[in-house]
Structure 1
Amino acid sequence: MGKLKFLIPILVVAAFLGLSSIFVVDEREKALVLQFGQIKAIKQEPGLSFKIPFIQEVVRYDDRILSLDTDTIEVTPSDDRRLVVDAFARYRIRDVVQFRQAVGIGGLPVAEDRLSSVLNAQIREVLGADQVTSDTILSEDRRSLMGRIQQNAQASAAGLGLDVVDVRLKQTNLPDQNLDATFARMRAEREREAADEIARGNEAAQRVRAQADRTVTETLSDAEREAQVIRGEADAERNAVYAEAFGADPEFFAFYRSLEAYEKALKGKNSSMVMTPDSEFFDYLRSGRISE
């Protein structure tokens, strides 16, 4: 029983020391074993590893591709047209020993601050180089410019133990004051184009209306001329019929013409005529003449 009292604490301490000496390296990370701040081992393969408890410590670093957004900066291309540029980079830790020696205990925050400064300097240098204009930055040549920024940044980041995998320009805009002036100029150009289109539309509408009015006038004129011709032909035919009827029976023709005159003269409810009773106009209304 007395031996158990001493054995149990010894086993507990041994188990604690054994567990403290074991650590696991994940496949997504790399680890350094430090002893009093000095690098004693590099663990880059995933699995179980060992260290001396209380004396050695493990510092882990992400082995995946990381993302860094840079601060928005202003650049001035060779055409002196200032642009506001916003970029981001993809990077990874290539050499954990060199990385540790470069940034010390600051880790990723210090490394990203230095890398951001490197990227901003390279963006200004590449985009502000000769023969690089704002139009070049906004054209298909933008890809080659980003490649140059990535290569230059890689050369500077190598001292930090980093690999710059890619650099992209997210936004390339004009400064606010220039942007307002550009929008105002674009708005004025659009309004001028709209006024030109409206003027051309009105001119075309006037031409169409004038052509339509001319067509209407010509059509009415042609119709009136044809109507006059038809009326003239009808009057001629009517006169021919009258003449033929007069030649066939003059008495009946005179009677028919008198009836037409009565119809036209006595049309309406309040027709009034003032003439002598023995007027020839009423010859066919007298009973004696009708009986004849």
Structure 2
Amino acid sequence: MKNIGTFLIGIFAALVILSMSFYTVDQREYALVFRLGEIVAVKDKPGLYFKVPLVDDLKKFDNRIITLDWEEPAKFNTSENKYMMVDSFVKWRIIDPAKYYVSIKEGGEAAAEDRLSKVVNAGFRAEFGKRTVHDVIAGERTAIMDNLRKRADAEARQIGIQVVDVRLKRVDYSEEISKSVFDRMIAERKRIANQLRSEGSAASEKIRADADKQREVIIAEAFRDAQKMKGEGDAKAAEIYSSAYGKNPEFYAFYRSQEAYKNSFKSKSDVMVLDPKSDFFKYMRSSSGR
């Protein structure tokens, strides 16, 4: 019975030791094998591996892309000595787990991101410091991100990290600059509005003056045409009168006298002092005027 117990204990111990001798590496991770504190193997392929139990230690690292996203925007100065608020993020991954572990020791991912933050911020200061506000906001944003990625990647590889991408999510003016920009925009809009009002007023005066001029021209031409037509009518009437008078001068003289009498004695209160023998009354004395 005692031998059976010993045998079972031996089998159990062997199983424990055997289980401690094998380990698996997932496709999403790296594995470092340590022996007496020194790295003896780096496993970057997925599979089942052997290690010396109770002698070798194992440490695993994530090989996927990690996002470093700052909680608060950072402030950087441009070549015009104006501060800009920059919100960005970095995509990075471990490519050399041995160098990565030696560089950060026991600090882990937080230590790696701290060093990466310093590298990226230094790059931001360098890139913003040689550009204007316009270049940073619109003109050269793509160039800034490319330069930052290359610079950060070159320095990050010294600690076993690859910088996959650096992106600017938002670039905005600082509070004091924003107020200045808004005030300048308001002043510019007011200037444009005043200019448009002035141009509109000038155009209005020009249109009004042109309309008045056309009105005067139209009235003058109408008066000229009316006078011309009136003159033509008077000439035609005179021609008709002359023609009629030439046909029967005596009747024309009689008719005109009758018209003169009618106009002269239109009202009972009219008074005329004339010699009865005057020519004016000749047709009253005789129908022949004698």
TM over 0.5: same fold?
Answer: yes
State the match for 2:157 in structure 1: 158
- Which deviates more, 114-123 or 227-236? 114-123
Map Cα deviations across residues 11-67 of structure 1 (whole Å, 9 max, x no partner).
9x95996699453522x4333346787645422123444567898776443333333
Q: Is the 8 A contact 1:89 1:166 kept in 2?
A: yes
Residue identity in the other structure for 1:121: A
Q: Do the aligned residues in 1 keep the contact of 2:88 with 2:167 (CA within 8 Å)?
A: yes
Deviation of 1:203 (Å): 0.7
Mean Cα displacement is larger for which, 171-180 or 117-126? 117-126
1:76 aligns with 2:83: no
**Per the alignment, in what secondary structure is the counterpart of residue 121 of structure 2?**
helix
Q: CA deviation at 1:238?
A: 1.5
The one-letter code sitting in structure 2 at the alignment partner of 1:42 is V
Q: Residues 25 and 48 of structure 1 are in contact (CA less than 8 Å); yes or no, is this contact kept in structure 2?
A: no
Contact 2:32–2:41 (Cα < 8 Å) also in 1: yes
Whether the aligned pair in 2 keeps the contact of 1:25 and 1:43 (CA below 8 Å) is no
* Aligned pairs (5 A) from 1:258-269: none
Q: CA deviation at 1:211?
A: 1.1
- Distance (whole Å) between structure 2 residues aligned to residue 258 and residue 104 of structure 1: 140
- What is the alpha-carbon distance in structure 2 between the residues aligned to residue 255 and residue 60 of structure 1? 142
The 1:258/1:179 distance shift into structure 2, 3 A limit, reads: farther
Aligned to 1:206: 205
**Which residue number in structure 1 is paired with residue 24 of structure 2?**
23
37 and 248 in structure 1: CA distance in 2 versus 1, 3 angstrom threshold: farther
Q: How far apart in 2 are the matches of 1:195 and 1:208?
A: 20
| 2:87/2:170 contact within 8 Å kept | yes
For residue 179 of structure 1, what is the aligned residue in structure 2?
178
Shift of 1:175: 1.0
What residue is the counterpart of 1:246 in the other structure?
245
Q: TM-score, normalised by structure 2?
A: 0.70
**2:24–2:46: 8 Å Cα contact kept in structure 1?**
no
CA distance in structure 2 between the aligned counterparts of 1:121 and 1:149, rounded to whole angstroms:
9
Q: Deviations over 1:131-185 (max 9, x none)?
A: 5444554464554444443344234323321012333333332211111111101
User: Which runs of 5 or more residues in structure 2 are unaligned?
Assistant: 270-279
Q: Which residue of 1 aligns with 2:125?
A: 124
Mark the runs of 5 or more structure 1 residues left unpaired by the alignment. 266-272, 284-288
Moved more, 146-155 or 85-94: 146-155
Q: How far does residue 100 in structure 1 lie from its aligned partner after superposition?
A: 2.3
**2:42 alignment partner, SS class:** strand
My pick for the range that moved more, 168-177 or 234-243, is 168-177
**Are residues 59 and 245 of structure 1, via their aligned partners in 2, closer, same or farther at CA, if it must alter by over 3 Å?**
farther
Q: Which residue of 2 aligns with 1:226?
A: 225
State the Cα deviation string for residues 169-207 of structure 1 (Å, max 9, x = none): 333322111111111012102211210121012112101
Which whole-Å CA distance do the structure 1 matches of 2:134 and 2:89 have between them?
Answer: 21
What is the alpha-carbon distance in structure 1 between the residues aligned to residue 257 and residue 68 of structure 2? 115
Partner of 2:91: 90
Once structures 1 and 2 are overlaid, which stretch shifts more, 60-69 or 49-58?
49-58
Q: State TM-score, norm by structure 1.
A: 0.70
Deviations 1:259-291, CA, capped at 9 Å, x for gaps: 999xx99xxxxxxx5349xxx9xx9xxxxx9xx
Give the secondary structure class of the aligned counterpart of 2:81.
coil
Q: Across the two proteins, how many residue pairs are aligned to each other?
A: 263
The answer on whether the counterparts of 2:137 and 2:172 sit within 8 Å (CA) in structure 1 is no
Distance in 2 between residues matched to 1:16 and 1:258, nearest whole Å = 159
